[in-house]
Structure 1
Amino acid sequence: MKRSSLFVQAALVVLACACGDGGDAGGQGGQGGQASGGSSTGTTGAGAGPSTGTTGAGAGPSASTTGAGGGLGPHVPEPSTPTRGGTMTFTNIGAPGWWPRRIDREPGDPACDYKDGDDTWGGHCCMTEHHATSDKLAPFDEEMTLIMKAIRVKQLAVYQPGSDPAAWQMISSWDAKDGVGSNLLVTEGQATSADFTGDLTKKDCVTYFTQDKPFACGDGKDYYCPDDPGIMHLGWAGSKLIVFLASMTFDDAGVEKCDGGGQGHPGPWVAFVASELIRDGGRKWNGLCNCYSKTGTVGDGCGEINVFEVVMDNNEYSNREFMSTGVRSYQEGHIGGSVCGSGCDRDEFAEDVEVVDACAQKAYDEGPVIEAGGASDGCPTWRRPIGDRYFMILLDEAQRTIQVAVIHPERIPSAAAEMLPDLPGGLSRGSIDAMLSMRLPE
């Protein structure tokens, strides 16, 4: 009972910190911290060295084609011990509701019906209640932006259904072989480019991924338009699938602060957030004027998914050898988000284990399911991978489901065989349904 309580408290702590202060662009949710000691995912892991250049370290040749609609082709991964893979399946996602949206109005305007006050830095903050009526994945059917930190990427692809809902198309992509995105822009600081090295392990900078399409703000009266060209691009709305081949294996000591001033925060982080959250005037860090929360304590607002987060904040909730996955929005506040804190030891689990129950301290025999408004299969969390993995997040309106998966390149399940390792230009609806049905390990 004590252990279960700890993980619930830890989830709340992680969620509550997600808005952070505007001055910290290096930690997850504005949190900092020093690197912890070495361990099995440090320099002793397979392919542990840092990558250089546009092709990524130890990546090997890639059969990349044209990207996006032409597909990417297979990529030779770094060798590592094969694992059984894992999934976390979030069901019953989507509900009518509302979140606070920042708009561009003068003080005293009646449209500021949620807040008419100050933002984090003393500027005017006008917010209105923005209501959604759909239950089909809402609010995650809205435009969303991908965020990454402290990870080495080899390939990345985004699929969405086209005019024919039975056919999903690759609409954005990047491959280490070419180093140039197709309908994909990467923003770090004030620099935005389709060129990308793939290596985000040298500094703890937060990096944003969007489409290569401008976001039209109009006259700004119904949507706040920050003076920040780097993130004024479209995310991905509706159903979407993001899959990338990447590694979280690197030397913690090699990570510098984003400004180059000493040891940086080495915790890998992958998030998928409401695009309007990063357009708050502080790129998600404007805690007093953004759509993250209605109550100010949990993420019961416009929608954020901590897809993979290694919590390293020098407290009892931290453990560099495990990753957390949590979904938060106005629907439930937060779902999932369990962590495996300081009492967890990765070596207590078999080498081929990917997903574990942090409360019961045992590996899952079948991928856990977490139902919004319902039951959860324990306290699911991930062992931090050693070597390359395919990381996947699939958000589907038809089944109102979010499927998060970690797949070893040498053990691709039959349900994902149409997609991996080829990453073709299109996928059938049958393949999408098959992946939503995966419960890895099986």
Structure 2
Amino acid sequence: MTKLSRLFAHTGLALLACACGSARSEGAGGEGGAGTSGTTTSTTTGVGGGAGGGLGEHPVEPSTPTRGGTMTFTNVGAPGWWPRRIDRAPGDPACDYKDGTDTWGGHCCMKEQHTTSTTLAPFDEEMTLVMKAIRLKQLAVYQPGASAASWSMVSSWDAQSGHGSNLVVTEGQMTSADFTGDLTKKDCVNYFMQEASFPCGDGSDYYCPDDPGINHLGWSGSKLIVFLGSMMFEDAEVQKCDGGGQGHPGPWVAFVASELIRDGGRKWNGLCNCYSKTGSVGDGCGEINVFEVVLDNNPYSNREFMSTGVRAYQAGHVGGNVCGEGCDRDAFADDVEVVDACAQSAYASGPEIEVGGDADGCPVWRRPVGDRYFMILLDEQRREIQVAVIHPERIPAAATEMLPSLPGGLSRETVDALLSMRLPE
């Protein structure tokens, strides 16, 4: 373990604290209460809005071309268990992990949820996309179809139409047909899910909060999320979610277990959720901080770099390096996307991180200037998670079937090619 990784491990939930701290300042809307603006849902198809018909190319703002970058997590998935909140009365024997109280004094019943899956588990479970402080232009979600030979676009959104297909975007409880894609004006957390509602049952399997805005299906099994967007804006223009002054200006993209946001507080119910078995690192139901600019006013913070970390019961915290106050963006060439925070050098080839094993240094991202394609690909077949940042003017050969057109379907060959990218090449 590198010195920087050890340093980060001692901080425990440093990145979670960053996200949680900003969310707790959001007010009821950001935490699942009676809320603020919220939901986008549509079935528009065709250019600029259709899952089946693809999205088509979107205009981008010119910026200095970069060589792109990838972080590849291998050996993902193992049998194990995590604590799952269920809706049972105090004293029920099903509460075999916890029979106590949640963060706000209500009853908390949790059971041990076991899986024998080895293919991506627990990330083969339903997952929900989370975003804040991003300017979004396009979003597409692909999953395998009836045949393993092809993947289909199952959810999408495009700024040119302002509508999506099989997609719900919610900040609070209220719904709206309008969604501009600009998430930089307030520090609210936004949740992206499928249109279909989560089927609430008798509480034997999942806890089901009284929270219609969040009770929608996530994406299970293998999945590919790709979006076009920007993370550059004036920090001072970001307001608190509920108004009243300067908000937290740190961009954040996460992909989390859907049951984690159904904990009764939209992920912030610290005493009653599936995040951790031990109360320290996230050795529970699964969370991926896909891209996070850490701004906590401590030595780990630096607005010019982004962190990527994977957390689950298999190995606790994996990756999640931070560059911290000792890193200088200008120490790297303008075309560099991914750097080694420990060695203070740019990667010649995209780093690999083995879950439960070794890592190629301490990879972090330089915060992009201008539009980028951001990607996270979780594949059961190869037990890998591929995270990528691609400049629109330097699309690698492996991604040309997908970018910039974002078609309605992808071949398995393209999925394999995306997993095999080691950018820069």
Which residue does the alignment assign to 2:348? 365
Name the amino acid aligned to 1:120. Answer: T
Displacement after TM superposition at 1:194 (Å): 5.4
Q: TM-score, normalised by structure 2?
A: 0.93
Among residues 381, 387, 393, which one is paired with 1:410 in the alignment? 393
Q: Deviation per CA, 1:65-123, whole angstroms, max 9, x where unpaired?
A: 44101100001111100000000000000000000000010001110000000000000
Q: Deviation per CA, 1:372-401, whole angstroms, max 9, x where unpaired?
A: 111100000000000000000000000000
Which residue does the alignment assign to 1:101? 84
Residue 396 (structure 2) pairs with residue 398 (structure 1): no
Among residues 283, 300, 309, which one is paired with 1:326 in the alignment? 309
Name the amino acid aligned to 1:78. Answer: E
Q: Deviation per CA, 1:198-232, whole angstroms, max 9, x where unpaired?
A: 00000000000000011001122332110000000
Residue 169 (structure 2) pairs with residue 171 (structure 1): no
CA contact (8 A) 1:173 1:182 kept: yes
Structure 1 segment 266-285 matched on structure 2, within 5 A: 266-285=249-268
Structure 1 CA distance, aligned partners of 2:15 and 2:301?
A: 14
Structure 2 CA distance, aligned partners of 1:16 and 1:250?
A: 24
Structure 1 CA distance, aligned partners of 2:62 and 2:4?
A: 36
Displacement after TM superposition at 1:64 (Å): 2.8
Structure 1 CA distance, aligned partners of 2:386 and 2:335?
A: 21
Residue 288 (structure 2) pairs with residue 305 (structure 1): yes
Structure 2 CA distance, aligned partners of 1:96 and 1:138?
A: 7
Match of 2:378, SS state, is strand
Distance 1:134 1:431, change over 3 A: same
Structure 1 segment 9-158 matched on structure 2, within 5 A: 9-10=7-8, 12-13=10-11, 15=13, 18=16, 25=23, 64-158=47-141
Q: Among all aligned residue pairs of Structure 1 and Structure 2, give the percentage whose two residues are the same amino acid.
A: 78
Question: How many residue pairs are counted as aligned between the two chains?
Answer: 407
Name the amino acid aligned to 2:228. Answer: L
Structure 2 CA distance, aligned partners of 1:143 and 1:219?
A: 19
Distance 1:186 1:113, change over 3 A: same
Which residue does the alignment assign to 2:412? 429
Which residue does the alignment assign to 1:220? 203
Q: Which structure 2 residue ranges, 5 or more long, are not aligned?
A: 27-39, 41-45
Which aligned runs of 4 or more in structure 1 are off by greater than 4 angstroms?
Answer: 19-24
Among residues 337, 340, 350, which one is paired with 1:354 in the alignment? 337
Among residues 235, 249, 264, which one is paired with 2:218 in the alignment? 235
Distance 1:185 1:380, change over 3 A: same
Q: Which structure 1 residue ranges, 5 or more long, are not aligned?
A: 29-53, 55-62
Q: Deviation per CA, 1:146-193, whole angstroms, max 9, x where unpaired?
A: 000001000000000011111100000000000011100100122344
Displacement after TM superposition at 1:16 (Å): 5.1
Structure 2 CA distance, aligned partners of 1:182 and 1:250?
A: 28
Which residue does the alignment assign to 2:164? 181
Match of 1:418, SS state, is coil
CA contact (8 A) 1:182 1:194 kept: no
Name the amino acid aligned to 1:160. Answer: Q
CA contact (8 A) 1:102 1:223 kept: yes
Structure 2 CA distance, aligned partners of 1:281 and 1:408?
A: 39
Name the amino acid aligned to 2:54. Answer: G
